[in-house]
């Protein structure tokens, strides 16, 4: 089970709350997912009013507000303060978007916002790239969790740079790592967990599925299977075939 800022979470699946066809489908998906954390955007979901907030609270999971839609450190810091007041939590998923098409993080503004928010007592979960230097800067800024993307938000492409994600895991073995964004299939989620990641965060893969509740259940199974496989210490890959049945002691005809 992942541990974030001293808090143990019952599930390695983190699920977003945006884009579901109806409130009932959202609640059904969360029930089937067993997700331990729900992310919610103050800016993008504010139009739901009190009914939306009541729905989110009814999920009975840990809330992780995010700064989705922010394009500067200043906007992100302001949004984080608003989220802390609304949701009564110091946890914040920090997003500072730098590219309109890919929604890639602006890593310069991201590090600055992380530094400010960490100094102000926030527990920052930064949405970042898998760049080792950027991640080092985020840790120096006070972050105790890193959330590198698998692929652009909402793309469903999976893990675009598995080598980079493995390198990040190896570089920071004691830092909780979450693959955030780009997950489209349960196999993508399982692959991330097999690399030794502590959790995955996804939204569109469930919300935009034909049957969101069924997909949520599939993602939950994939995350559990991937973690179990990692803990089982998988066999090493080889470039040549290795017979599973030895020939020593057997007759040759």
182 labelled binding-site residue: yes
C-alpha dist (Å) from residue 234 to 152, 219, 237: 29, 21, 9
C-alpha dist (Å) from residue 145 to 140, 156, 188, 238: 11, 23, 21, 33
Mean pLDDT value across residues 235-239: 87
Catalytic annotation on 24?
no
Instruction: Tell me which of 84, 93, 137, 169 is the catalytic residue.
Output: 93
Which of 42-46, 78-82, 194-198 is least confident?
Answer: 42-46
Q: Are strands 7-8 and 3-4 parallel, antiparallel or unpaired?
A: antiparallel
Q: What is the pTM of this model?
A: 0.90
Mean pLDDT value across residues 42-46: 61
- Return d(Cα 229, Cα 203) in angstroms, integer: 24
Banded pLDDT at 58 (limits 50, 70, 90): confident
Residue in 31, 20, 36, 75 with CA at minimum distance from that of residue 178? 36
66 labelled binding-site residue: no
Copy the structure tokens of residue 176.
Answer: 């909780």
Longest dimension (CA), the chain: 80
58 labelled binding-site residue: no
Q: For the segment 100-159, what is each residue's pLDDT rounded down to a tens digit?
A: 888 899 999 999 999 999 999 999 999 999 999 999 999 999 999 999 999 999 999 999
Looking at residue 50, what is its pLDDT? 72
The strand ranges marked E within 68-162 are 91-94, 123-128, 147-148
203 labelled binding-site residue: yes
Total residues belonging to the chain:
253
Write down the architecture of domain 3-232 according to CATH.
Alpha-Beta Barrel (3.20)
Per-domain boundaries in the chain:
3-232
Is 188 a residue whose pLDDT tops 60?
Answer: yes
Looking at residue 100, what is its pLDDT? 84
Residues 36, 10: contact at Cβ < 8 Å?
yes
């Amino acid at each position: 089970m992942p541990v974030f800022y001293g808090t143990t979470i019952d599930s390695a699946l983190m699920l977003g709350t945006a884009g579901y066809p109806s409130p009932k489908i959202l609640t059904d998906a969360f029930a089937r997912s067993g997700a331990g954390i729900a992310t919610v955007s103050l800016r993008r979901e504010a139009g739901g009013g009190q009914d939306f907030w009541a729905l989110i609270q009814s999920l009975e999971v840990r809330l992780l507000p995010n700064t989705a839609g922010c394009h500067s450190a200043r906007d992100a810091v302001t949004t984080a303060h608003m989220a802390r007041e609304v949701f009564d939590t110091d946890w914040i998923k920090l997003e500072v978007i730098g590219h309109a098409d890919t929604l890639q993080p602006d890593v310069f503004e991201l590090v600055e916002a992380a530094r400010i928010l960490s100094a102000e007592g926030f527990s920052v979960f930064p949405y970042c790239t898998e760049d080792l230097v950027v991640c080092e800067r985020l840790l120096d800024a006070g972050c105790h969790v890193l959330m590198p993307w698998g692929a652009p938000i909402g793309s469903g492409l999976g893990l675009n740079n598995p080598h980079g994600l493995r390198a990040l895991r190896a570089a920071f073995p004691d830092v909780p790592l979450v693959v955030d964004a780009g997950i489209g299939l349960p196999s993508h989620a399982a692959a991330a967990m097999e690399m030794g990641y502590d959790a995955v965060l996804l939204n569109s893969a469930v919300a935009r599925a034909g049957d969101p509740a069924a997909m949520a259940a599939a993602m939950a199974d994939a995350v559990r299977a991937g973690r179990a496989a990692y803990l089982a210490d998988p066999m090493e890959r080889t470039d040549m075939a290795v017979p599973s049945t030895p020939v020593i002691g057997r007759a040759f005809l």
